[in-house]
Amino acid sequence: MESPIPLPVERAILKLGSDISLARRRRHITQASLAERMGASISTVQRMEKGDARIPIHFFARALHVFGEIQALEHLLDTASDEIGLTLMDENLPKRVRSKRGTPKAL
């Protein structure tokens, strides 16, 4: 049995679908044309624009690529600027670093 989708996740997917629909219409692209460019069916585009959470993420990525916005997906969780992850990692740094016996000291 599937677990229910958390409300914030559902809202985010609905908004993304709505934004894709708006971007498509602003560019005067039909659903059929977007589907063709994405390598998907028209029904997939329709379901995606309605915020269907069962649509695989690669279709959302393909739509972003068609709109020239794929970099937005690439930078969603940029580990180089993940403040929480970096803070947790820094908390586990050793207080001191000692050389092992018989190992030459680094410069």
Closest to 15 in 3D by CA, of 49, 38, 57 = 49
Q: Tell me, what's the pLDDT at 5?
A: 93
pLDDT tens digits, one per residue of 40-64: 999 999 999 999 999 999 999 999 9
In a domain, 11, yes or no: yes
Closest to 19 in 3D by CA, of 55, 75, 69, 79 = 69
pTM of the model: 0.76
What's the angle, vertex CA 16, arms to CA 12 and CA 17, rounded to 5? Answer: 120
What's the angle, vertex CA 39, arms to CA 35 and CA 41, rounded to 5? Answer: 50
Backbone angles phi, psi at 59, to 5 degrees: -70, -40
Chunked into runs of 10 residues, the chain (107 residues) has average pLDDT values of 90 97 98 98 98 96 96 87 87 84 67
Domain that holds residue 37: 7-91
- The total number of structural domains in the chain stands at 1
In a domain, 105, yes or no: no
In a domain, 56, yes or no: yes
In a domain, 103, yes or no: no
In a domain, 17, yes or no: yes
CATH of the domain at 12: 1.10.260.40
